[in-house]
Chains A and B, each alone.
Chain A
Amino acid sequence: MEHGLLVMFLGVAVYMFIESYTFGERAAAFPRFTAGATIVGALLLLFRSYLPGPVQKLVVESDGAFDDVADEELVESDDATGETDAEPEPDEPAADAETATETRYVDLKWLTMHGSQFTAIISLLFVVVSYLIGMLWAAPLFVATYLGVLRRPWYTVVGLSVIAFLLAYSFVLVLGIGIDGGVVLDLGRFL
């Protein structure tokens, strides 16, 4: 997946670098400089296994200035929490003290999904439903669906859905934003 991220960096940077030649000289200097640097960085990271030794070491992992101190202390931290602080492999997801925890899965009865994946999909649906009926009404629906799928007690589902509605409504009051209606349904008149 890291390669996907790098290809995205590279693709966007190459496009922006080429497109900068359609701008005037003053407007092109900075985008060309930043896109050029991004291209070099992304290429180094994509082809790091083919680089000569010292450069490869720099590209793969380099020690932070405070690593000696932090690592020493993290050993104590790990003793206390039972977690590990393994050095991440270049192509493996980071596994430092902050992220070395058990993975959470969501059981949808017909499908078991990674917790992050589930949250990303349901957030995407929240935005789509917000476009259709308005974010004010979509917010409690989103919270209720999220907690319902995770099989939380009904009173917490109801309570937090009401809190979500009130929070969204507080944004309407403070910022005066029009989130009470969407392209399909406009329930704003009921407020």
Chain B
Amino acid sequence: MTFAEGLGIFFEAVTIAFSWPTIGWIVVGILVGIVIGALPGLGPSLGMAIMLPLTLPLEPVNAIILLVSVYSGAMYGGAIAAILMNAPGTSAAAATTFDGYPMSRRGEALKALSISATASSIAGFFTVITLILLSPVLIEVVLAFQSPEYFLIALLGLAMITVISKGSMVKGLTAGMFGLMITTIGTTSFAVAPRYTFQDQLGFTLNDGISFVAVLIGLFAIAEMFKLAGEKGGISRGKTIMTGSVVPGIKSVLSHPVTLIKSGYIGMLIGAIPGAGSTVSTFVAYGESVRASDDPESFGKGNEVGLIAAESSNNGTIGGSLIPTLSFGIPGSAATAVLLGGLIMHGLRPGPTMFSEQLVTTYSLFVALLVGNVIILFVGLFVITRTSIITRVDTEYIIPIIIVLALVGAYGLRGPSQTWLDIWTVLLLGGIGYYMKMYNYSIIAFVLGVVLGGIAETNLDRSLQLSGGSWSIFVDPLNQPLSFVLVVLIAFLLVGPIIKPYLTKALANR
């Protein structure tokens, strides 16, 4: 593709993003996202999961734009409760509380909120621009991948998620493999062979398998509500008086361009690593701003630079997390796992097609994010500063409403013959997800398995067909060097933690 062709496609995407009703879906998505993010206990993944069924009647491009707008809005919305109530709406906003809440307590709530909106939108804007500029390079990389590499990249994603995230690696891998395994229920696409359909035992067959959207709703909405229902402290009783002013907040962000740019790119880079996510990126960016400061003692006591760092990295993560999601189908976070589910539900496959036949859709998504950041700035400066009541909604009121939305949504996922199967799937996976969370099993690894199962199996089958059934296609350095490198990487990730103590000891003894 030439530069001129790429530019033409980009302008086509701009036209789509600004056409009706697409622009309307961007606004709706951002507003819904901000509300969901600001509500205590709810986050982007839950918001996107309950929105998934409602996107069914939409055009694929509008559906994905709506979902990504919810994601962007919720990432910003999480900061509102963090600043006003010291209760982050999302875990990604935890670092925002360090300096945001002290600012509110000393009567600068409006300034803190305007810093949050300005830093979020500017960082979100330039990281997405960077993503657009990087896309020609991404296209080249993605096109080098064939079936064996796509199968291995799914395994690599699982391995990375389980190694990078805290906890037992074996727990994460087991969860991921269990997720992959349940996608094998139903008829295969390549061999027309029914598997685990229980034709004689049930009143219906499982030919169409288990709906991965029902699994997503169960894991992100129902399991989260079960968890919230067992916890006290979902509401902040305090009331913050909205004092201060908006303009100094904007000036403060603009007078710290280095922190803004550095933190935005830290967010983008860490966001691109599967499993790391925005919670990690905000802490890293915050830590870096403390390290680089001449006055580190003032951090945690209402230092504006700390708030700028946390908020700019938070929204910078969005662009970064889209890189592995769209290129290889490996989500960088729980929210992008749901986005990936949305892509597949609407017939869009991550990988080369997103950067060739579907490039208009991909660019439309990026443009929607750019527009979304402008809306975040407007809403953040002129609406949120006047409406803080949302952060004081009791979780006891939220729980039954979310359960209703989740189960009614599940009813409409597939045809009438699958309705009750999907509803029971949502409820059952809600229970399983609750216990997985309780015992520290990686939900993201499980979701990745469920979402990627079909793609991984198709690519494994194609690879084995190419090699005449021999698994050596994955470890042939002469003919499949990329596959070989991926296998080595996976082995390194899995074996690394075992040999690390011995290596450290050996190096220390030298």
Contact = CB atoms under 8 A, between A and B. Distances in A.
B300 A76 contact: yes
Interface residues of A, number: 96
Contacts of A175: 53-54, 56-57, 412
A103 B232 contact: yes
A173 to B, nearest CB: 10
A93 B438 contact: yes
Nearest to B276: A66
Interface string B14-45: 00000000000000000000000000000000
A82 B340 CA distance: 37
A158 B98 CA distance: 38
B401 A23 contact: no
What size tier do the contact residues of chain B reach?
A: 35 or more
A27 B165 contact: no
Contacts of A119: 225-226, 229-230, 399, 403
Contact of B232 (A104, A160, A177): A104
B231 A103 contact: yes
State the main secondary structure of chain A at its contact with B: helix
A80 B171 contact: no
B388 interface: no
Contacts of B195: 19-20, 23, 27, 31
Interface string A140-170: 0011001100101000100010011001100
B193 A23 contact: yes
A168 B404 contact: yes
A188 interface: no
Contacts of A44: 170, 174
Interface string B429-471: 0111011111111000000000001001100110010000100
Contacts of B204: none
Interface stretch (B241-249, B323-331, B420-428): B420-428
A13 B227 CA distance: 26
Interface in B295-324: 300
Interface in B312-361: none
Contacts of A98: 91
Given A13-B178, A55-B498, A168-B404, A2 B439 contact: yes
Contacts of A37: 173-174, 177
Interface in B452-494: 453, 456-457, 460-461, 464, 469
A19 B196 contact: yes
A80 B453 CA distance: 42
B439 A174 contact: no
Contacts of A41: 170-171, 173-174, 177
Interface string B170-195: 11011001101110100010110101
Nearest to B158: A37
Max count, chain A CB within 10 A of own CB: residue among B95, B438, B469: B438
B404 A97 contact: no
Given A124-B427, A143-B404, A174 B177 contact: no
B233 interface: yes
B84 interface: no
A139 B404 contact: yes
Contact of A73 (B91, B283, B397): B283
Contacts of A76: 98, 300
Interface of A: 1-2, 4-5, 8-9, 12-13, 16, 19-20, 23-27, 29-31, 33-35, 37-38, 41-42, 44-45, 54-55, 57-67, 69-70, 72-74, 76-77, 79-81, 88, 90, 93-94, 96-99, 101-104, 114-120, 123-124, 126-127, 130-131, 135, 139, 142-143, 146-147, 150, 152, 156, 160, 163-164, 167-168, 171, 174-175, 177-179
Q: What are the 10 tightest A-B residue pairs by CB atom distance, in nearest-first order?
A: A41-B174, A116-B230, A64-B166, A119-B229, A175-B412, A27-B193, A31-B184, A34-B181, A94-B440, A102-B232
15 contacts: A13-B178, A31-B196, A34-B177, A42-B174, A54-B501, A94-B440, A101-B232, A103-B231, A124-B427, A171-B408, A175-B53, A175-B56, A177-B411, A177-B412, A178-B416
